[in-house]
């Protein structure tokens, strides 16, 4: 046990048990997001696949969210995002990877999570990243990719500063993120098949829909969205 663990002891976000941010009991009792839903119309969909009627050239191919955005998962995401407790990333990534590995596909077109996939985290604007000191989505993404045997790559950057999405309504969120993403570089040919676009929470989906649009315009054939919670 380090000195920081004595001064700032870890405490489960769900039950308050000391020694961990996410105890086994709270992991097991946390509500998984089910049924998965189409990222465009947000109605129930097998495996979260985008409904045929909702598909357009620049929309995501599907969406998977691990947990309901409530109780321990919500508290942990907020602790990582706004209180900058970076250790929380591991506490979220480990159970998330276990859940993904155990997901059974009902449709062969949805991702097989145990395959070698490419994970692309949603970026922060450089000023916000410098002020905070890290991108919480990238921190979880690094650990998750390692646990899943994936490659993580930063293909996107935020080219302009937008308002924080918290407190904005659906239409305002969509307008707020229009044109905020650029491709960092031309993607390698080997990555043009399927990638996993990763963020912490899906609220209205405006951020991930805009990021997907940029990636598909760049030539990516399939973009599947993945979030810790929804």
* DSSP states along 176-216: HTTT-EEESSPPPGGGSSEEEEEEEE-SS-HHHHHHHHHHH
Region of 133 on the Ramachandran plot (φ > 0 left; ψ -120 to 50 alpha; else beta): left
Q: What is the separation of C-alpha 73 from the centre of its chain, rounded to a whole number of angstroms?
A: 13
Neighbours of 139 (CB within 10 A): 19
Rounded distance between C-alpha atoms, residue 18 and residue 140, angstroms: 22
User: What is the pLDDT tens value at each position of the chain, 230 positions in all?
Assistant: 444 455 568 999 999 999 999 999 999 999 999 999 999 999 999 999 999 999 999 999 999 999 999 999 999 999 998 888 888 999 999 999 999 999 999 999 899 999 999 999 999 987 877 777 889 999 999 999 999 999 999 999 998 766 566 655 666 666 667 789 999 876 665 556 789 999 999 999 999 999 999 999 998 999 999 999 99
Q: CA quadruple 19, 99, 34, 145: dihedral positive or negative?
A: positive
For the chain, the structural domain boundaries read 3-229
Position 145 scores a pLDDT of 97
Q: What pLDDT shows up at residue 31?
A: 97
pLDDT the model gives residue 164: 63
Cα–Cα dist 149/211, whole Å: 24
pLDDT at 1: 46
Token pair of 209 as six digits = 């829909």
What sign does the CA torsion over 205, 206, 208, 210 have? positive
Q: Compute the distance between CA of residue 132 and CA of residue 109 in angstroms, rounded to an integer.
A: 38
* Separation of alpha carbons 17 and 91, rounded Å: 14
The predicted pLDDT at position 4 comes to 46
Provide the pLDDT for residue 188.
60
The pLDDT score that the predictor gives to residue 66 is: 98
SS3 for 90? helix
């Amino acid at each position: 046990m380090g000195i920081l663990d004595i001064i700032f002891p870890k405490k489960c976000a769900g039950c308050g048990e000391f020694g961990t941010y996410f105890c086994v009991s709270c992991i097991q009792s946390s509500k998984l997001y089910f049924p998965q839903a189409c990222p465009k119309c947000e109605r129930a969909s097998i495996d979260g696949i985008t409904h045929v009627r909702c598909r357009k050239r620049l929309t995501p191919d599907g969406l998977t969210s691990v947990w309901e955005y409530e109780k321990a998962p919500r508290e942990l995401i907020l602790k990582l995002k706004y209180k900058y407790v970076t250790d929380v990333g591991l506490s979220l990534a480990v159970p998330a990877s276990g859940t993904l590995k155990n997901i059974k596909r009902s449709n062969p077109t949805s991702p097989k999570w145990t395959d070698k996939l490419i994970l692309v985290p949603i970026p922060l604007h450089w000023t916000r990243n410098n002020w905070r000191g890290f991108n919480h989505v990238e921190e979880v993404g690094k650990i998750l990719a390692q646990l899943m045997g994936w490659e993580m790559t930063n293909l996107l950057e935020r080219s302009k500063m937008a308002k924080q999405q918290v407190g904005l309504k659906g239409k305002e969120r969509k307008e707020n993120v229009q044109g905020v993403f650029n491709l960092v570089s031309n993607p390698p040919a080997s990555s043009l098949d399927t990638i996993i676009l990763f963020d912490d929470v899906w609220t209205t989906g405006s951020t991930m829909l805009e990021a997907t649009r940029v990636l598909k315009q760049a030539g990516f054939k399939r973009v599947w969205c993945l979030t810790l919670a929804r």
